């Protein structure tokens, strides 16, 4: 059996694609397709396997001619590319097996797919493979069971070339104990966080290390601190591993804001090599936080909490939303001020979107307010429901936020605000040419593109000067944020060229 695993293409100018960063770091994509790589390890060992990540290389006709079956996994934002892949597979009469978030919450939208293996594949894939072996494979496989992650294998990293990726990924846990109205995590992974064993996660670290990876690793959990007791135990194992290997990786993840309440947990994360964390901050409007059930963010001062995490030595990447029913007309100025005061440099601001099968989706459907399915791109300025606020005012206000916070003046101002709070940790790291040379090249490219070519160069040089003399310990982070700003400006420029309510 010849299996072609295909990861569809992301739209070019999306917030998290980091497309415009890639030329600075000489990479083709930000992250590898971790799900497909894990699935590959679960398929029969005797099967031949190839993987095509369409964000790295084109899907060629000869790939489809070679394959007996195509396994495809995708997120909602990749749906247009998925449709193209399905159409091409049909032309070559190749069987298609589909799974992942896009299909788990919306498989009904797709025709021409032979088998849907939905939900968490540790439960559904073995059943499908057994039926396939016996010649009685069904069209849809779905289950409500939550698998034991200690049985999940190490991803089949041999199927990709590390040199194409800026960051590699591992997963420690699934599930989130909270129930935000707009979030689809609990639909896919449940509310009870399940974890891998520490030894299991370290085997995954070993797999990356032994293949030569040195650099950033994203722990892709829904909420890394969902089970604090387990995660603290695991972090002590990572610390020992990192110390032995002289810190070959830097780590980042996603967590909830109550991270700031646990100093022991933050210290352990810092000692384990974490330097960034994404947190859903959402909105400074308390009524809107209550509306979406984001009660964690209502319990204290969010600005102070973010600054505390920064003080401990981690950059906070933030998610923000406008378009709640309780948002006042002043929400747009409030969000701008909120973001600037915290020094959240990477601020993903989106209009509220109703993702399939979420509580928000069901409520808006009952109220007759749904307009269309979500694009999956929460920063494209589109609306898929009828808001309480005037729709044109909402979209224009959103565009104002993006235009303001990603203007060179406000963006570089935010970097300085962050650097004032940030306390980077010194570590005894092994000096590696594999890291030093690419970092130097990235800096020199930033000098050319941001310091000479781009019109905002005066802000760049002001940052470089200040970082060298006042924040020299955080100089690499300062340059990195300047580079990411180039991407965010490009994405924002495209957004602003679109017609209102397009």
Q: What is the pTM of this model?
A: 0.95
Closest among 474, 133, 76 to 310, alpha carbons compared: 474
Count Cβ atoms within 10 A of the Cβ of residue 435 and give its class: 0-12 exposed, 13-18 middle, 19 or more buried.
Answer: middle
- Please list the pLDDT of the chain residue by residue as tens digits (502 residues): 999 999 999 987 899 899 999 999 999 999 999 999 999 999 999 999 999 999 999 999 999 999 999 999 999 999 999 999 999 999 999 999 999 999 999 999 999 999 999 999 999 999 999 999 999 999 999 998 999 999 999 999 999 999 999 999 999 999 999 999 999 999 999 999 999 999 999 999 999 999 999 999 999 999 999 999 999 999 999 999 999 999 999 999 999 999 999 999 999 999 999 999 999 999 999 999 999 999 999 878 999 999 999 999 999 999 999 999 999 999 999 999 999 999 999 999 999 999 999 999 999 999 999 999 998 888 899 999 999 999 999 999 999 999 999 999 999 999 999 999 999 987 655 656 667 788 899 999 999 999 999 999 999 999 999 999 999 999 999 999 999 999 999 999 999 988 665 5
Q: Which fold has domain 167-420?
A: TIM Barrel (3.20.20)
d(CA 36, CA 7): 8
pLDDT of residue 76: 95
Residue 350 exposure: Cα atoms within 13 Å on the Cβ side: 22
SS (H, E, C) 300-348: CCHHHHHHHHHHHCCEEEEEEEECCCCCCCCHHHHHHHHHHHHCCCCEE
pLDDT of residue 432: 64
Q: Are strands 194-195 and 173-174 parallel, antiparallel or unpaired?
A: antiparallel
Which 3 state secondary structure label does DSSP give 252? strand
Q: Which residues pair with 7 in a beta bridge?
A: 53
Superfamily of domain 2-141 in CATH is Cobalamin-binding domain (3.40.50.280)
d(CA 63, CA 447): 40
Tokens 């224009």 sit on residue: 396
Which part of the chain has CATH 3.20.20.70? 167-420
pLDDT of residue 274: 97
Which part of the chain has CATH 3.40.50.280? 2-141
d(CA 483, CA 346): 11
pLDDT of residue 378: 81
């Amino acid at each position: 059996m010849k299996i072609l695993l295909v990861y569809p293409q992301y739209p070019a100018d999306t917030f998290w694609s980091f497309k415009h960063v890639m030329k600075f770091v000489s990479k083709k994509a930000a992250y590898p397709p971790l799900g497909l790589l894990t699935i590959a390890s679960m398929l029969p060992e005797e099967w031949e396997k190839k993987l095509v990540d369409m964000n790295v290389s084109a899907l060629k006709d000869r790939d489809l001619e070679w394959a007996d079956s195509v396994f495809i996994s995708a997120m909602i934002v990749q749906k247009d590319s998925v449709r193209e892949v399905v159409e091409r597979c049909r032309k070559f009469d190749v069987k298609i097996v589909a799974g992942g978030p896009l299909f788990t919450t919306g498989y009904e939208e797709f025709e021409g797919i032979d088998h849907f293996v939905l939900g968490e594949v540790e439960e559904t894939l073995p059943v499908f493979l057994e039926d396939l072996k016996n010649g009685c494979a069904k069209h849809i496989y779905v289950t409500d069971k939550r698998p034991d992650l200690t049985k999940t294998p190490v991803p089949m990293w041999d199927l990709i070339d590390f040199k194409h990726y800026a960051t590699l990924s591992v997963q420690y846990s699934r599930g989130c104990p909270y129930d935000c109205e707009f979030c689809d995590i609990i639909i896919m992974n449940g509310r009870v966080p399940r974890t891998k064993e520490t030894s299991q996660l370290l085997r995954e670290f070993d797999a990356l290390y032994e293949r030569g990876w040195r650099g950033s690793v994203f722990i892709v959990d829904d909420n890394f601190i969902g089970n604090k007791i387990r995660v603290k135990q695991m972090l002590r194992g990572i610390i020992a591993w990192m110390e032995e290997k002289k810190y070959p990786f830097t780590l980042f993840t996603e967590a909830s804001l109550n991270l700031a309440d646990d100093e022991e947990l933050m210290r352990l994360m810092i000692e384990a090599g974490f330097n960034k964390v994404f947190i859903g901050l959402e909105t400074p409007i308390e009524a809107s936080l209550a509306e979406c059930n984001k009660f964690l963010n209502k319990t204290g001062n969010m600005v102070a909490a973010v600054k505390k995490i920064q003080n401990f030595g981690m950059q906070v990447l933030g998610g923000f939303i406008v378009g709640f029913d309780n948002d006042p007309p002043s929400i747009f100025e409030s969000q701008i001020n909120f973001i600037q005061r915290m020094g959240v440099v990477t601020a993903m601001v989106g209009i509220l979107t109703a993702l399939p099968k979420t509580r928000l989706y069901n409520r808006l459907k009952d109220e007759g307010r749904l307009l269309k399915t979500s694009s999956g791109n929460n920063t494209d300025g589109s609306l898929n429901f009828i808001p309480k606020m005037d729709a044109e005012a909402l979209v224009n206000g959103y565009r104002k936020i993006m235009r303001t916070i990603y203007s060179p003046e406000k963006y570089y101002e935010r970097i300085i605000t962050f650097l004032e709070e940030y306390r980077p940790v010194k570590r005894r790291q092994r000096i590696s040419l594999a890291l030093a040379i690419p970092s130097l090249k990235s800096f020199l490219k930033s000098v050319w593109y941001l310091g000479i070519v781009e019109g905002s160069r005066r802000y760049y040089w002001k940052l470089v000067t200040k970082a060298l003399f006042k924040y020299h310990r955080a100089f690499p982070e300062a340059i990195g944020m300047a580079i990411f700003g180039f991407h965010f400006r490009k994405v924002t420029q495209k957004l602003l060229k679109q017609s209102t309510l397009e």
